Structure 1
Amino acid sequence: MIGRLSGLVVEKQAPEIVLDVNGVGYELQVPMTSFYELPELNQQAMLFTHFVVREDAQLLYGFITKQERALFRLLIKTNGVGPKLALTILSGMTAAEFVNCVERDDIVTLVKLPGVGKKTAERLVVEMRGKLKSLLEASVGSEREFALQSNYKPAAVENNAEEDAIAALVSLGYKPAQASKAVLSAYTDGMSSEVLIKAALKSML
């Protein structure tokens, strides 16, 4: 089992990255909550990982904190929730926001996430109620547990921020028309793709 990786971020195409660990490039799928906090290319990062083996693929998921990984693992134990849907949920809201939805029986917000129907939302609320409080408390006040260079600066804004944002949302399960509309509505001059994705996701909840 691969529990943690530390290396250079050599590729970033949300929600996927490639982490170079001593010359070996590991492809990881990362929820947007973790993706937002990654350094720019060729800087050091450390991620906690979860390895999924299927008949047709071996997939590695990366998370900035142990708490995010723990929530991911709780989600995929829920009936009807696989790794892809868990990644979408963690991309659409923070751990604290998800806990609030569960505690308030907020089915309306949960069903706005792609792939989460009413029955799945109700199942999440029922099965995860009582399991999340300790998880959230453990994350409060904790430092982000990944290595960044001391001179870290946000990645430079790219000209194709809109295209990258739309592609990221589609890969997370949103329909192309829905993703395009959200991105175009949220975009303002100078936005990086990461900031744009975050704004577009928030606008759809």
Structure 2
Amino acid sequence: MISQLTGTLLAIEDGNAELSVGSFVYEVAVPGYDIPSLSMQIGADVGFFTINYLEGQGQGSSFVPKLIGFQSRSDRAFFKVFTTVKGIGNRKALRALQVSPSRVAEAIVQQDPKFLATLPEIGKRTAESIVVELKGKVDGFLSTTRSSGASGSAAGGHAASSHPFAEDAVLVLLQLGEHRSAAQNLVERILAIDPEVASAQLLVTKALRLRGTT
């Protein structure tokens, strides 16, 4: 069983990373929230904490081994918990998780099925099931930024902590080498100028441009 892989990232395509490890190239499925940061690391060495599973083909007549990769042990652990919900398999979970585990955990803890229902593949009934089945099981996946976000006194800090893509953008910036305080500051400054940023990827792009001018 493969539990970790480290190699050169060759490409990101259709939700899969192509990772060159020695003389082998592995196809690793990745959750949507990791794609923006991985897309900026093509050609670099990256590591994944992996899950192995068999995917049925031809109505179950054959099975193909598959790998799912995460950039942290915590993200892998959250995925394992998330897929314990009835009706959520690996593929469905990968498509649904377009925001960070900490953001999904926050919605579960706050019993917010309306937010969960906005995720791909997650309808109203499934969202309600997630809240019920995972209540009390995901508190450990809340980020320190979200759990203490209300303590920020600046208006910009409050806007960032409540923005749906703020924490995802901060996590991407951390993966790109920024210190947390600097990443949060960049995100807050962008949101103060443009609070209607439509995606985490766009927020990261704007933050990197701002960093380059300061």
When normalised by structure 2's length, the TM-score is: 0.62
User: How many pairs were matched up?
Assistant: 152
Letter in 2 for 1:101: A
Aligned to 1:37: 37
Which structure's residues are more often helix, by fraction?
2
Letter in 2 for 1:89: A
Give the whole-Å Cα distance in 2 for the aligned partners of 1:97 and 1:49: 21
Q: Structure 1 vs Structure 2: percent identity of aligned residues?
A: 27
Q: Secondary structure at the match of 2:42?
A: coil
Matched, 1:77 2:78: no
Shift of 1:116: 0.9
Shift of 1:101: 0.8
Q: Secondary structure at the match of 2:47?
A: strand
Shift of 1:72: 0.8
Question: Which sections of structure 1, spanning at least 5 residues, go unmatched?
Answer: 151-184, 188-193, 200-205
Distance 1:197 1:13, change over 3 A: farther
Distance 1:196 1:63, change over 3 A: same
The answer to whether the 8 Å contact 2:105/2:142 transfers is yes
Which of 100, 103, 108 is 2:109 aligned to?
Answer: 103
Aligned to 1:8: 8
Aligned to 2:126: 120
Aligned residue runs from structure 1 range 170-181, under 5 A? none
CA shift digits 1:62-105 (9 cap, x unpaired): 100011111111111111101122112322x2122111111121
Shift of 1:32: 2.5
The answer to whether the 8 Å contact 2:106/2:142 transfers is no
Distance 1:149 1:138, change over 3 A: closer
Aligned to 1:19: 19
Letter in 2 for 1:24: F
Shift of 1:139: 11
Q: Secondary structure at the match of 2:27?
A: strand
Distance 1:12 1:54, change over 3 A: closer
Structure index of larger Rg:
2
Matched, 1:62 2:69: yes
CA RMSD of aligned residues (A): 3.1
CA shift digits 1:95-143 (9 cap, x unpaired): 2211111112111111112211111111100111111112336999xxx
Give the whole-Å Cα distance in 2 for the aligned partners of 1:53 and 1:88: 18
When normalised by structure 1's length, the TM-score is: 0.64
